[in-house]
Structure 1
């Protein structure tokens, strides 16, 4: 298991730690751990155009999105958070955080990101088969994530390959 101080991340720094794939946390701090991990993932993502603020959009019945504004600490830039209705176009979003919803609804939200510079993170797709780039697995005492290489490769975003070292690859890889 890796234990990393995610708040020490300096985006773009070659010696900066990457978000841990298995982060242990105290009970009741899941939302903060999710925010740190989301910010860490964002810090290792490059958008085609530089941006001053990370615009996070949340859709679905997300259980761990209440503290996503804290992602700013590990993302290396201010973050704003707004809710989107299920099926709403992710206009003005840099990061789409998907909570639980029906598979068809989730797929529609993911499809709406195709061709756009939007990082997608699913909160409740532990097998990472719904099309999001990153999928969180939050349990009572730990947080891990999987990556969907296919979704990342089809995106206009560039994700630092060091993230792959600590993530579990979707489809039975690492």
Structure 2
């Protein structure tokens, strides 16, 4: 079971939550269907930048950190081809707080709840996360098509089409929890 709020909020609003669960499930289904539409039919989308932003926002939205009360800080390596797209919207419009990091050293000294890797290789991703202080981390990679090591979520970008795959081993050890519907969406995309 995923928890969508702080423990105190769950206890105080248990009755209200039970009444809104069907509504939240409908919202989640609608959001996931929208995400699937963007992934499956990129001709109708605004291009790879918008698709990458939508997928990353969707992944972050359905990820829960154990003790996080504010939007997660997503540190985006400046080597990403989509840095501008992932950071340009107003902070209120994004489900995360974007922080651009320009080097591994800078990233190691920045407090982040997740990392978005650009051109860093899967082995560099693994090496970096082993050096980063132990804490729950969401790891997303732009250049990791094999998705065997390094990041939990790996974007597969072909022209305007953007899909993603999931490394369950990395995700299991990441300390974050992700809604199973997102994992099913990645599985569905793997069979296209």
TM (norm. structure 2) is 0.69
> What residue in structure 1 maps to residue 9 of structure 2?
none
Match 2:68 to one of 50, 71, 81: 50
> What residue in structure 2 maps to residue 35 of structure 1?
53
- Shift in Å, 1:128: 0.5
Displacement over 4 Å in runs of 4+: 25-28
Distance change >3 Å, CA 14–CA 115, structure 1 → 2: farther
Match 2:100 to one of 82, 92, 101: 82
Unpaired runs of 5+ residues, structure 2, are 1-22
8 Å CA contact retained: 1:53, 1:80: no
- Superposed counterparts of 1:2-151, under 5 Å: 13-15=24-26, 16=28, 17-18=31-32, 19-20=35-36, 21-22=39-40, 24-25=42-43, 29-59=47-77, 61-69=79-87, 70=89, 73=93, 75=95, 79-87=97-105, 88-89=107-108, 91-113=110-132, 115-151=134-170
- Taking the aligned partners of 1:120 and 1:23, their CA distance within structure 2 comes to 25
Structure having the higher helix fraction is 2
- Shift in Å, 1:60: 5.7
Distance change >3 Å, CA 24–CA 113, structure 1 → 2: farther
- Taking the aligned partners of 1:117 and 1:90, their CA distance within structure 2 comes to 16
Which is greater in Rg? Answer: 2
> What residue in structure 1 maps to residue 16 of structure 2?
none
Root-mean-square deviation (CA), in Å? 3.0
Task: Show CA shifts across 1:130-167 (max 9, x none).
Answer: 32010001111200000111111112111111111110
Distance change >3 Å, CA 94–CA 74, structure 1 → 2: same
SS at match of 2:111: coil
- Shift in Å, 1:104: 3.8
8 Å CA contact retained: 2:72, 2:114: yes
- Shift in Å, 1:94: 1.4
> What residue in structure 2 maps to residue 156 of structure 1?
175
SS at match of 2:104: coil
Unpaired runs of 5+ residues, structure 1, are 1-11
TM (norm. structure 1) is 0.76
